[in-house]
């Protein structure tokens, strides 16, 4: 069984941890009442993480287009291959959609995004209270969809690892004995 390239594995696990951290931070910061210094700091960190997710998603998509993933195990049913393929592309779509919706939500709220407090991201739209409300909902629901799909992805990986024992999960593990796909 061949595994993903080292670059793909590093991008996968880095993004997984970053997405989980960004999601968790988003939940924590929105539960803080009022507008406190801590809440503002968390919002900044959340935005920085979101911009980083977006940048890494672009790198990851480019890598995926240039380096085809290793083939699935032969006994994997066609419907599972199709479901995995569809789920992966939905995850890619959301890795772009969630941070972009958050970015435009911030701009519509009249709050520019300054990456790490140093780099001003372009202000592509002006403040718009009506659009802000729409984008807030879009960002929230895309985030919830991403959380559900990540859960499905993790459940499927665990099924392959613990139930099927077919080596599918070993393809993406950092310290697998499977050969790297070239």
Pairing between β-strand 114-115 and β-strand 119-120 as defined by DSSP bridges: antiparallel
pLDDT beyond 60 at 180: no
d(CA 81, CA 147): 21
pLDDT average, residue stretch 124-132: 98
pLDDT in tens, 8-38: 999 999 999 999 999 999 999 999 999 999 9
pLDDT average, residue stretch 81-89: 93
pLDDT in tens, 31-58: 999 999 999 999 999 999 999 999 999 9
Higher pLDDT, 55 or 72: 55
d(CA 32, CA 29): 5
Residues with Cβ within 8 Å of residue 71, at least 6 apart in sequence: 2
d(CA 157, CA 51): 27
d(CA 46, CA 25): 6
pLDDT average, residue stretch 90-115: 97
Give the chain's mean pLDDT.
92
Neighbouring-strand partners of residue 114? 120
Range scoring the smallest mean pLDDT among 45-49, 51-55, 67-71, 99-103:
67-71
pLDDT in tens, 135-159: 999 999 999 999 999 999 999 999 9
Q: What is the pLDDT of residue 14?
A: 97
Q: What is the pLDDT of residue 127?
A: 98
Q: What is the pLDDT of residue 78?
A: 87
Q: What is the pLDDT of residue 3?
A: 86
Q: What is the pLDDT of residue 75?
A: 72
pTM for this predicted structure: 0.91
* φ, ψ at 179 (rounded to 5°): -75, 145
Question: What count of other Cβ atoms lies within 10 Å of the Cβ of residue 94?
Answer: 20
CATH entry, 2-180, from 1.10.3470, 1.20.120, 1.20.950, 2.60.120: 1.20.950
pLDDT beyond 60 at 182: no
């Amino acid at each position: 069984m061949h595994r993903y390239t080292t670059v793909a594995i590093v991008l996968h696990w880095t993004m997984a941890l970053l997405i989980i951290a960004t999601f968790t931070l988003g939940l924590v910061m929105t539960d803080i009442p009022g507008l406190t210094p801590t809440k503002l700091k968390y919002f900044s960190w959340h935005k920085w993480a979101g911009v980083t997710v977006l940048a890494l998603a672009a790198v990851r998509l480019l890598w995926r287009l240039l380096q085809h993933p290793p083939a699935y195990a032969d006994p994997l049913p066609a419907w599972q291959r199709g479901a995995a393929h569809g789920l992966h592309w939905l995850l890619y779509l959301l890795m772009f959609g969630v941070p972009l919706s958050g970015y435009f939500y911030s701009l519509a709220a009249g709050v520019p995004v300054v990456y790490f407090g140093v780099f001003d991201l372009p202000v592509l739209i002006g403040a718009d209270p009506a659009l802000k409300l729409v984008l807030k909902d879009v960002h929230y629901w895309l985030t919830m969809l991403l959380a559900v799909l990540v859960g499905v992805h993790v459940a499927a990986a665990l099924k392959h690892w613990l139930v099927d024992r077919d080596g599918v999960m070993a393809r993406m593990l950092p310290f697998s004995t499977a050969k790297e796909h070239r």
